[in-house]
Amino acid sequence: MPTTIPCLWFDGQAEQAAEHYVSIFPNSTILSTTRTPAGVPDGEEGAVMVVEFSLDGQRYVGLNGGPQFTFSEAVSFQVHCADQAEVDHYWGRLTEGGEEGPCGWLKDRFGLSWQVVPTVLLDLIGGDDPGRAQRASDAMMQMRKIVVDDIVRAADAVPAP
């Protein structure tokens, strides 16, 4: 099967973004950097053109394509977290210089959208008990960063008669 590699379009910040992401995710590295060769129209010779990097085994490409295109919430990356410590780590690092959004969503300093999601939330919402799923979902809708204990507490709350 062919490999699918997300290509992220930046306006001159691909290298900085790759370095930032690699510093956040374990087992991550910059794989290669391609610089603009001489003679490229509208290109600065020697400037970073493409950065290939890996975040915990998932490959990405960062392309310095210019200001023509920007990120939107129409595309986001989900970070599934085992516990609150992981949620806190990824939320804190990815929101540095960025902005918090609702329901575990955020935009990082480069404008890329992320969803920092504890796996327990996915288990609760996708579980067999529709009441628990609804209470967990309702609690999530009131949050920015997801708080695992608050989600579980809401899901386990006894509904009013």
Q: Give the percent of the chain with pLDDT over 90.
A: 89
Q: Give the percent of the chain with pLDDT over 70.
A: 99
Residue 66 neighbours by CB under 8 Å, 6+ apart = 11, 12
Structural domain of residue 144, as residue ranges? 71-161
* DSSP letter, residue 126: T
Q: Are residues 79 and 131 in the same domain?
A: yes
What confidence tier does 160 reach under pLDDT thresholds 50, 70, 90? Answer: low
> Mean pLDDT over all residues of the chain?
95
Q: Are residues 102 and 32 in the same domain?
A: no
CATH code of 132's domain: 3.10.180.10
φ, ψ for residue 61, nearest 5 deg: -125, 130
- Over residues 34-92, the pLDDT tens digits come to 998 888 777 788 899 999 999 999 999 999 999 999 999 999 999 999 999 999 999 99
Q: Are residues 85 and 158 in the same domain?
A: yes
Collapsing DSSP to helix, strand or coil, 34 comes out as strand
Residue 100: exposure state from Cβ atoms within 10 A (0-12, 13-18, ≥19): middle
Q: What is the total count of domains within the chain?
A: 2
Q: Are residues 46 and 91 in the same domain?
A: no
Q: Are residues 45 and 95 in the same domain?
A: no
